[in-house]
Chains A and B, each alone.
Chain A
């Protein structure tokens, strides 16, 4: 089976500074893949470049299609969707309009189903559907951002720090929903600083440091890796010192 998203030997630079250096990754269908790493490791940069917001050097394919000539809008139409770190909601429009615009690239008939699906995933959004997006709480905004992305029925959803600045109980809710997406046939590429939560729901993981992947493998193995445990999970295995 060929990968849904394949990124090979990608370099991304801001001017002369290379933020991502020779990174390769794959996301298969029905798979949750996470990229963990410290602040400034280049995770967000990588996601933005895969979405087409930033230019990159290297080869990226999505669903067997070379993405080099596709701009953001084409990638959305092809089934790739990004929930960015800053969510980029339409703050002065209400929840329903935000969601409706999420289905901008799919036929109207399908959009009705999307509404139902999203409201099932996030009942809170249904309660707030006439409220302006800018007046929602942080957690609700994150739900709306994810809901808006899901409205377009993407094949792959890329999430950038969905837990950022949210209360633990909301984070648990969001991660439970991410887990449910796999069952609904949506693959997820998740970038997180909350490594523990991310590794719990992910199938595979990549560890990013200073613009390179230093480790990759099954999420379970990564979670039990002592170096990862020390650096990202905040504890040390007994009798071992951190690397």
Chain B
């Protein structure tokens, strides 16, 4: 092995690691606010990537209709749970968020989809579709059981993953898809060649991390989300709706997932079920970060990416095994270091 190969592997690992970092951050965010371990994060990745890839070929992806259908269910739930105290403002909000929003996105997709649609429009459409799905997924599957234990939420999460993966097969078929690159420029520095795509990956990852940091550190909504994570009862006592916090967390997570997908679909062929494995690597990073620390998660994600790149070079058959084995020493160390705690009931 020479330096050039090493540099290539390192570059490859960091590019993948940046994607895992985004996903890991989303997982930490969702867990902190809602205590949901977001297994369907991988589906957000595939939905974003494949919706974008289909839009690029001029077709309307089935996910647009799924968003409308989920919106209708969410609308029914909103009305049902508020049946004792229905008032005009609440109904207006439910109509706007649950019906008008996804319907507008769906109609917009039908109107704009075509072989000549610019890349930026396709990206925006794919993001809107997946954001709507993420929002309604929380409303339908998690909000009604938000007060239950982490285990119950995890089981629901696995259920969502399986359901969305099945729907993914229906929407995108069993064939893999690739999307067009965001940019075709390439820079050369010594032996290394940076494609526009990998630069976009770095740029967006850093932008997202900075944006999340600003959002949580300085905006009132971001602080409210943190407050919900720190103390749910305290948050409710100052009037923060924990259901709204959950919806925002899912909205952000689905957006991050979709962006990750759109970033990698020009690099690798994605299938309807690829997202799970990608999400799982983000999950490893999140676990190394203890499901609480954003910086530790980002660093761990880069590590996961680099280990993956090197192991695919040396022992490509065992690539996944090696990556997932990373979690064992971390779990052992963490379980030794952390005192036994009972799950907080609230």
Q: How far is the CA of A88 from the CA of B231 in the complex (A)?
A: 7
Say how far A14's CB is from chain B's closest CB, in angstroms. 14
Contact B227 A93 (CB under 8 A): yes
Contact B239 A104 (CB under 8 A): yes
Q: Does A51 contact B (CB under 8 A)?
A: yes
Contact A105 B226 (CB under 8 A): no
Q: Does A155 contact B (CB under 8 A)?
A: no
- Residue among A76, A77, A151 with the most chain B CB within 10 A? A76
- Which partner residue on chain B sits nearest A148 by CB separation? B238
Say how far B162's CB is from chain A's closest CB, in angstroms. 33
Interface size class of A (residues with CB under 8 A): 20 to 34
What 0/1 pattern do residues 210 to 251 of B give for CB contact below 8 A with A? 000000000010011011001101111111110000000000
Contact A104 B85 (CB under 8 A): no
Say how far B59's CB is from chain A's closest CB, in angstroms. 43
Chain B residues positioned under 8 Å from A70 (CB to CB): 85
Chain A residues positioned under 8 Å from B224 (CB to CB): 101, 104
Q: Which of A48-103 contact B (CB under 8 A)?
A: 51, 53, 69-70, 72-73, 76-77, 81-82, 84, 88-93, 97, 100-102
Q: How far is the CA of A102 from the CA of B224 in the complex (A)?
A: 10
Q: Does B116 contact A (CB under 8 A)?
A: no
Say how far A74's CB is from chain B's closest CB, in angstroms. 8
Query: Given A93-B223, A101-B224, A81–B231 Cβ distance below 8 Å?
Result: no
Contact B223 A91 (CB under 8 A): no
Partner of B240, one of A69, A91, A101: A101
Chain A residues positioned under 8 Å from B223 (CB to CB): 93, 97, 100-101
Say how far A231's CB is from chain B's closest CB, in angstroms. 31
Q: Does B345 contact A (CB under 8 A)?
A: no
Q: How far is the CA of A101 from the CA of B231 in the complex (A)?
A: 12
- Which partner residue on chain B sits nearest A69 by CB separation? B85
- Which partner residue on chain A sits nearest B234 by CB separation? A88
Chain A residues positioned under 8 Å from B239 (CB to CB): 72-73, 76-77, 104-105, 152
Contact B238 A152 (CB under 8 A): yes
Query: Given A90-B226, A100-B223, A101-B223, A73–B231 Cβ distance below 8 Å?
Result: no
Q: How many residues of B contact A (CB 8 A)?
A: 18
Chain A residues positioned under 8 Å from B238 (CB to CB): 76, 101-102, 104-105, 148-149, 151-152
Chain A residues positioned under 8 Å from B226 (CB to CB): 90, 92-93
Chain B residues positioned under 8 Å from A90 (CB to CB): 226-227, 230-231, 234-235
Q: How far is the CA of A100 from the CA of B222 in the complex (A)?
A: 12
Contact B240 A104 (CB under 8 A): yes
Say how far A73's CB is from chain B's closest CB, in angstroms. 5
Chain A residues positioned under 8 Å from B85 (CB to CB): 69-70
Q: How far is the CA of A90 from the CA of B230 in the complex (A)?
A: 6
Partner of A88, one of B220, B233, B241: B233
Partner of B234, one of A51, A89, A100: A89
Say how far B34's CB is from chain A's closest CB, in angstroms. 17
Chain A residues positioned under 8 Å from B235 (CB to CB): 90, 101
Q: How far is the CA of A97 from the CA of B238 in the complex (A)?
A: 12
Q: How far is the CA of A149 from the CA of B236 in the complex (A)?
A: 12
Query: Given A97-B223, A101-B223, A104-B224, A72–B236 Cβ distance below 8 Å?
Result: yes
Q: How far is the CA of A151 from the CA of B223 in the complex (A)?
A: 16
Q: How far is the CA of A221 from the CA of B85 in the complex (A)?
A: 42
Chain A residues positioned under 8 Å from B240 (CB to CB): 73, 101, 104
Chain B residues positioned under 8 Å from A81 (CB to CB): 237
- Residue among B85, B236, B237 with the most chain A CB within 10 A? B237
Chain A residues positioned under 8 Å from B220 (CB to CB): 100-101, 104
- Which partner residue on chain A sits nearest B226 by CB separation? A93
Say how far B122's CB is from chain A's closest CB, in angstroms. 37
Contact B231 A89 (CB under 8 A): yes
Q: How far is the CA of A41 from the CA of B95 in the complex (A)?
A: 46
Say how far A97's CB is from chain B's closest CB, in angstroms. 6
| A-B contacts, 15 listed (Cβ < 8 Å) | A72-B237, A73-B236, A76-B236, A76-B239, A88-B231, A88-B233, A88-B237, A90-B227, A90-B231, A92-B230, A93-B230, A100-B223, A101-B224, A101-B227, A102-B238
Chain A residues in contact with chain B, CB under 8 A?
Answer: 51, 53, 69-70, 72-73, 76-77, 81-82, 84, 88-93, 97, 100-102, 104-105, 148-149, 151-152
Chain B residues in contact with chain A, CB under 8 A?
Answer: 84-85, 220, 223-224, 226-227, 230-231, 233-241
Which 5 A-B pairs have CB atoms at the shortest separation, nearest pair first? Answer: A76-B239, A88-B234, A69-B85, A105-B239, A90-B230
Apart from A77-B239, A88-B237, A92-B226, list 11 A-B contacts with CB within 8 A: A69-B84, A73-B240, A76-B238, A76-B239, A84-B233, A90-B230, A97-B227, A101-B220, A101-B224, A101-B235, A105-B238
